[in-house]
Amino acid sequence: MRSRPSILITGAARGIGRACAERFAAADWLVGLYDIEARELADTAGELSARHGTDRVCHCALDVRDPDSVVAAVAHFAEHSGGRMKVLLNNAGVMSVGRFETVSAADHRRTIAVNLQGLVELTLASFELLRDTPGARVLNMSSAAALYGVPEMASYSATKHAVRGLSEALELEWASHDIRVCDVMPAFVDTELLSGTRRLRAEAALGVRLQPEDVAAVVWQAATARRRRTHWPVGAQMKLAYGADKLIPERLHRLALKWMTKV
């Protein structure tokens, strides 16, 4: 087990996290599954173990909002990985949909706590394991909402802008430790995170064109690519938007989003 490259995945019980876990376990990595949903997490771990072997999977409940839970999760992973962490995949995320003033303060706080503060604390807690693993990488799950703030997703967009900035800064800071840092940027993905919320106007305009496996394929590329790259857009639609972001004036971005979301 300890000779295998290892990856810690948050939000691993379902959706994108689960698809990524399947991808890496199939490639003979040690996969650490962490999620607040303990029952679903155990089911996912059991299924992966049955398919790929118990020596490729470890799991533990994790609430990224709780600093003690974060420290315990990293310690748990270290026990199973021999003190190494080849990849940290910060995938856990939540989203509250609605006009800014209609979303409760508690929901705004939860979005920031999970999507940003939890990511910061887990990345910080993982630093020593990453530093001690040659060629380690941090992959942060960002979003198309990191390109331009999306109406009805204000707090979510804010956190993804922050994740993008953090990724850019740490890619420069941690290069001296041989740690690469990047973000993965999908548009709308067919997961419970999306289906469990009210339908967005932007979602209706752009469509849901990605499956979790599409994102997992790009995560795999980001984890194994030789060349340095900070941002990894997912899918043709997002690649076009990412390229256009460097060329289109801000005024046109604003008008396009205003038209799509009818605000």
Residue 156 is among the residues annotated as catalytic for this protein: yes
Q: How far apart are CA 23 and CA 15, in angstroms?
A: 13
At 53, phi and psi to the nearest 5? Answer: 110, 140
Q: How far apart are CA 250 and CA 6, in angstroms?
A: 41
Beta strands in the chain (DSSP E): 6-10, 30-35, 57-61, 87-90, 136-141, 179-185, 231-233
86: which residues sit within 8 A by CB, 6+ positions away?
A: 5, 6, 7, 29, 133, 135, 136, 137, 223
* CA separation, residue 24 to residues 29, 153, 168 (Å): 5, 31, 25
Nearest CA-CA partner of 257 in 219, 218, 201, 217? 201
Looking at 34, 148, 156, 242, which residue is catalytic? 156
Residues catalogued as catalytic: 156
